[in-house]
Amino acid sequence: MKPSSRITIRDVAATAGVSVATVSKVLNARYGVSAATSAHVQSVIRELGYEASLVAQSLRNHKTNVIGILVADLEPFSTELLKGAAKAIKGTGYELVVYSAGGRTGDQAGWEQRYLSRLSGTLIDGAVLVTPTVVDVDYGTAVVAVDPHAGPTGLPTVDSDNLTGARLGAEHLLQLGHRRIAMITGRPDLESSRQREQGFREAMRDAGVPVDPDLIEVGDYDPDSSAAAARLLLGRPDRPTAIFGANDVSAIAAVEVAASMGLRVPDDLSVVGFDNVPEAALASPALTTVEQPIHAMGHRAIELLIGLIHGEEIDATHVRLPTRLVVRQSTRAL
């Protein structure tokens, strides 16, 4: 037997000197095997590192006790969400598998349907979809959406109060005396992005400060696009005194571009982000940002999903968690 080959139930039976049927009874805790034989077989299983195939287990029991988290890409937001999901899964009897195509171009619209078709039915009992593009379909399995593109629909969803959070970020800059405030917006196809831009505009309107259309640039939640947007904004002769990034990735890109142009943050430019991923606190200077409870979003999504899998009646199928402002060193009074 090659060291790299998969250990099978036949390998266990041969090593233990028993039949495949006996090993199967031990694995499934069935009667008909003595305590000594069962202990011996279990010892061989541990020694060989045997694990039952999820597909085979699914075919036998019609369930795998595995939950999938499906993401278009592994970036700061989804990575933090996974931490909350991993904490929630402990002690539930379920295991967690993460599936991503690595953000391949051309895999955007409808990616969650393609991913689920590969996993559901044989590998997972249910799935958490992170920022899915399509939610109003019958997936044929228990599904919870986190931060869906179109916002809450018929599918159970978890998101944060993006509109209020964006208002908090813009109001902070306004209270510091800034009036020429730019925004690097997120992905136009995401409801969270639209809500954040709306919150920014509402805060400016309520303060009686017109939004200069020349100070709004799309960053797509992407570091390269955000850096390009920041260079346009800061290269203007009437450059802004503050930039609000639709996420921390955008805001950190703006800080880095400002430094490359000889501008000091916060002396020459105040910057606010959104998300409060770990990179925000580690940035130089530490980033003032709007915190959405990403860990709690992952935790709540898993709780909702397990309830659905168990057929429980769900009290709230659309969960919206609060946001808050975290003030650090990237902003100062004008």
Neighbours of 1 (CB within 10 A): 11
> How many residues are present in the chain?
334
Residue listed under structure tokens 């992905």: 187
Our CA angle for 227, 232, 237, nearest 5°, is 140
DSSP category for residue 186: -
R_g over Cα of the chain? 25
**Cis peptide preceding 156, ω within 30 of 0:** no
CA distance 248 to 221: 8
Q: What is the largest CA-CA distance in the chain?
A: 85
CA distance 8 to 207: 68
> Quick one: pLDDT at residue 116?
76
Beta strands in the chain (DSSP E): 66-71, 95-100, 126-130, 142-146, 157-160, 181-185, 216-218, 242-245, 270-275, 288-291, 318-321, 324-326
Long-range contacts at 213-218 (CB < 8 A, ≥ 24 apart): 215/180, 215/181, 215/182, 215/183, 215/240, 216/182, 216/183, 216/185, 217/182, 217/183, 217/184, 217/185, 218/184, 218/185, 218/188
The pTM of this model reads 0.80
With CA atoms as reference, report the closest residue to 301 among 277, 322, 321: 321
24, 32 contact by CB (below 8 A): no
> Quick one: pLDDT at residue 1?
42
CA distance 110 to 125: 20
293, 322 contact by CB (below 8 A): yes
State residue 69 phi and psi, 5-degree precision.
-115, 115
Beta strands in 260-327 (DSSP E): 270-275, 288-291, 318-321, 324-326
Please list the pLDDT of the chain residue by residue as tens digits (334 residues).
444 467 888 888 999 999 988 988 887 777 888 999 989 988 988 888 776 654 455 445 557 788 999 988 888 999 999 999 999 999 998 999 998 866 554 455 567 777 777 776 567 888 999 988 766 666 678 889 999 877 666 788 999 999 999 999 999 999 999 999 999 999 888 889 999 999 999 999 999 999 999 999 999 999 999 999 999 999 999 999 999 999 999 999 999 999 999 999 999 999 999 999 999 999 999 999 999 999 999 999 999 999 999 888 777 788 999 999 999 999 999 9
> Quick one: pLDDT at residue 135?
63
